[in-house]
Amino acid sequence: MPDRAAILAEAARLRGQFEAAGALPVETAVLQPAGTLLDLYGEDIRARAYITSDALRGEQMLRPDFTVPVVQMHMAHGAEPARYTYAGEVFRRQEDDADRANEYIQVGFEIFARDDAARSDAEVFSTFHALLAPLGLQPATGDIGILMAAVDGLETSERRKAALRRHIWRPRRFRALIERFSGRAPVPASRAELLAAKDPMAAAGPMIGLRGPEEVAARIAALREDAAMPPLSENDVALIEALLAVRGASEDALEQLRDIAVDLPAIAPAVTRFAARLEAIGAQGIDAAALPFEASYGRTQMEYYDGFVFGFTAPGRPDLPPVATGGRYDALTRQLGAGREIPAVGGVIRPGLTLELGAAT
Amino acid sequence: MSIKLGVPSKGRLMEKTFEWFAGRGITLGRSGSEREYAGFVEGVENVELVLLSAGEIPRELAAGRIQLGVTGTDLIREKLGQWESHVSELAELGFGHADLVLAVPSAWVDVSTLDDLDAAAAAFRAQHGFRLRIATKYHRLTREFLRGAGVADYQLVDSQGATEGTVKNETAEAIADITSTGDTLRANHLKILEDGLMLRSQATLFRARGAELTEADRKTLAELSARLG
C-alpha cells in the first residue's frame, strides 16, 4: 500500500488533470447530515457509513461519498452548465472484512448540463479513459436507463411497475417480483386466505400502532385488485430476461437491444440514446464499438445511477475494488433538488489504487 | 497465566451454566458475598472464573482477554463481525433457547411475509413521510437479514428493553426481538412473520481463536475440550 503522502500527491495530480479538462475544484464538509443520506439509501447505509452525533445537530455521517454534497452544493448556488472536481477522504465502515479500507481518498469529476446527455456521458467516460490509459485497465459499461424503460413499457398495472422500479437495484427482490407477477411463484397460503376472506379484519384483534385500519384496508384492496389482474405475459418476462442477459462488445449489444426493442418498443428511445452515446464516445477517439457492455452492470452497487454506468478494474487483480466508477444520476438531483432537477453525470477514481498499479501518466 | 472462563454474572443463565459444568465434574461458584463478582473453579487445574455481563462476553473473547466464554449465539453474531474468525463453538449447552424474530401487529392481516412487509413499508413511507420503524437491540442482525431479503423503506430504532411495547406506544411499527415461547409477543398483540425467523439462539460455550496461549494453557484447553465438547 503506497503511503498517504504519495496518495495525496497522486490525488492532487489527478484533480489537476480534471481542472485542465475544465472542472472547477470544490470542497465539501466531512461531516454530513445523516438524515439526507438515510432518506436516499435507507437503513443499509448504516452498515457502510460511520455515524456520530451531537445534541445540537443530531446524527452526522462521516462523508461516505462526495456525490450527494456536491449535488446539494450545485443545486443551492451553482451556475449552469458546470464541471466540478474534488479530492478527499471518504469513509466506509467495514464490518465483515478487515482487509478493506475504511478510509480512502477519492478524486471525482462531475458534469451538470442540460443539453446533449450523450456528449456529457462521453466527455466523462473519455476523460477517465485517457487518465487511466497507462494502467491497462479493463473498462465495463452498462445502462440502467434501458432496464427502467423496459419496466415502464410492460403491459401491466402501474402499481406493479412501481414495485419493480423500486427494486431495480435489488436484483433478487426484482426477480422475486417478476416471478410473482407472472404467476410462476405460487401464491402463499396466507395470501390466498386473506383474498378469499369475506371480512379479513374479523379476527384481527385490537388495532395497535401508527399504521391504521384504513392503511391495512387500502393494501387489501390493492392486493385484491392485483389478484384480479392478468399475470405478466410469458412474452414480457422473456423480454426482460433477454434484456438482462445482453452482454458483449457495445456494437453487438446495440444490435441485440435493437432486436429486443422490436417487441418492446418502450425501450427504443433508451436504445437510441445508447447509440448516440457510442457515437459520442467514438468521436473522442475511443473504439466505442468494442467497448464491453452489460445490461445488468451496476445494478447491485450503484444505486443512484439511472442511466449510463461505467467502471474500470485491474485485470488479474480480483482482490482490488474497481479503480474508477461512475455514471449518470439525473434522479438523484431530482430527489435532492426539492422540485428542481438537472441532468448530471460523473465518476470517481481511487488514487491509492492508481499508485499501487504503477500510475504516473 | 491460566485459562479464563467467562460466565454470565447474573440470574438463571449463571445458575444453569454452573449446573451444566457440575454435570461434567467441574464446580463453578461465586466466592464471597452475593454481590462480589469473583468466583472459584474446582475439578480442573489452571482455570479461572470470570463473571461478566453476557453482553460483554463476545467482546472479551474477541479481544482474547478470556479464552472461554458462555453466552448466547445471538449476542456473538450481533456483536462480532465475521464471528467465525474470532470464536469457535465448543458446545451447545441446551438452555437459554431463544429465537430472534421479526414481528408485526396481529391486526396487520395483510402482512404475513417479508414480501408483504416490504410492500407495506413502501406504502407507509408514502403515507407518513418517514420510513417504517423497527425497534430492536439487534441492529446488525436485523439489517443483514432485511438486506438479504431485499426489504427497503424501513428504519431501525434502538430499543434496549420492553421492545414488545414499542408498537403500542407508537415509537415503532414492528419489532425484531428474541422470544422463547411467543407469549410476550401475543400478549402485546404482535405476530411473527411466516419467514421472520432470523436466528435460533441458545447458550453456547465459545472458545476464542485469537488468544495467546502458554504450553500449560494449551494442555488445559485440550483437557477441557475433551471433557466438555
In contact, B147 and B170? CB cutoff 8 Å: no
Q: Which three cell numbers stand for residue A153?
A: 413499457
Instruction: Go through the domains of chain A in sequence order and give each one's CATH number.
Output: 1-137+339-361 (3.30.930.10), 156-233 (no CATH)
Q: What is the pLDDT of residues B181-218, one digit of tens each?
A: 889 999 999 999 999 999 999 999 999 997 778 899 99
Closest CA to A254 of A238, A285, A277: A277
Q: What is the pLDDT of residues B16-32, one digit of tens each?
A: 999 999 999 999 988 87
Residue A25 confidence (pLDDT)? 97
Q: How is residue B23 annotated by DSSP?
A: T
**Using alpha carbons only, what angle is made at residue A83 by residues A78 and A86, rounded to the nearest 5 degrees?**
95
Q: Do B140 and A218 touch (CB under 8 A)?
A: no
Which of A43, A188, A209 faces B156 most closely, judged by CB atoms?
A43
User: What does pTM read for this prediction?
Assistant: 0.87
Residue A302 confidence (pLDDT)? 59
Q: Which three cell numbers stand for residue A167?
A: 427494486
Alpha-helix residue ranges (DSSP H) falling in B33-113: 57-63, 73-79, 83-86
Q: How far apart are CA B16 and CA B166, in angstroms?
A: 31
Q: How is residue B33 annotated by DSSP?
A: S
Q: In chain B, where are the structural domains located? A: 3-96+202-228, 98-201
C-alpha B164: how far from chain center: 17
- Closest-CA distance, B181 to chain A, in angstroms, reads 20
Q: Do B189 and A208 touch (CB under 8 A)?
A: yes
Strand B3-8 to strand B47-52: parallel, antiparallel, or no bridges (unpaired)?
A: parallel
- Closest-CA distance, B106 to chain A, in angstroms, reads 6
Residues in chain B: 229
DSSP A316-345: T-TTSPPSEEEEE-HHHHHHHTTT----EE
Contact residues, chain A, for B82 at CB < 8 Å: 96-98
C-alpha B31: how far from chain center: 27
Q: Is the pLDDT of residue B96 over 70?
A: yes
In contact, A297 and A282? CB cutoff 8 Å: no
Q: Which one of A96, A207, A211, A214 makes the best mutation probe of the B interface by having the most chain B beta carbons within 10 Å?
A: A211
Which of A43, A97, A216 faces B143 most closely, judged by CB atoms?
A43
Q: How far apart are CA A237 and CA A183, in angstroms?
A: 11
Q: How far apart are CA A111 and CA A124, in angstroms?
A: 8
What Å distances lie between residue A23 and A123, A350, B67, B136, CA to CA?
12, 18, 56, 46
Q: Which three cell numbers stand for residue A224?
A: 385484491
Closest CA to B204 of B52, B48, B97: B97
Which value does ipTM take for this structure?
0.85
Q: How far apart are CA B211 and CA B62, in angstroms?
A: 8
Residue A360 confidence (pLDDT)? 43
In contact, B194 and B113? CB cutoff 8 Å: yes
- Closest-CA distance, B177 to chain A, in angstroms, reads 17
Do domains B3-96+202-228 and B98-201 share one topology? The answer is: yes
CATH fold of the domain at B98-201: D-Maltodextrin-Binding Protein; domain 2 (3.40.190)
Residues in chain A: 361
Report the share of chain B in percent with pLDDT over 90.
77
Which of A167, A194, A204 faces B107 most closely, judged by CB atoms?
A204
Residue B35 confidence (pLDDT)? 65
Which of B139, B152, B194 faces A166 most closely, judged by CB atoms?
B152
CB of B156 less than 8 A from some CB of A: yes
Nearest 5°: phi and psi at B82?
Answer: 50, 55
CB of B192 less than 8 A from some CB of A: no
Which of A46, A172, A216 faces B150 most closely, judged by CB atoms?
A172
| Domain B3-96+202-228 in this protein, CATH class | alpha beta
- Closest-CA distance, B79 to chain A, in angstroms, reads 10
Contact residues, chain A, for B187 at CB < 8 Å: none
pLDDT, tens digit only, all 361 positions of chain A: 679 999 999 999 999 999 999 999 999 999 999 988 888 888 888 888 999 999 988 899 999 999 999 999 999 888 889 999 999 999 998 877 778 889 999 999 999 999 899 999 999 999 999 999 999 999 999 999 999 999 999 999 999 999 999 999 889 899 999 999 999 999 899 999 999 998 888 878 899 999 999 999 999 999 999 999 999 999 999 999 999 999 999 999 999 999 999 999 999 999 999 999 999 999 999 999 999 999 999 887 657 889 999 999 999 999 899 999 999 999 889 888 878 889 999 999 999 999 999 854 4
Confidence of residue B143 (pLDDT cuts 50, 70, 90): very high
Contact residues, chain B, for A191 at CB < 8 Å: 112-113, 116
Region B24-49 average pLDDT:
85
Q: How far apart are CA A162 and CA A157, in angstroms?
A: 9
Closest CA to A294 of A186, A147, A100: A147
In contact, A91 and A131? CB cutoff 8 Å: no
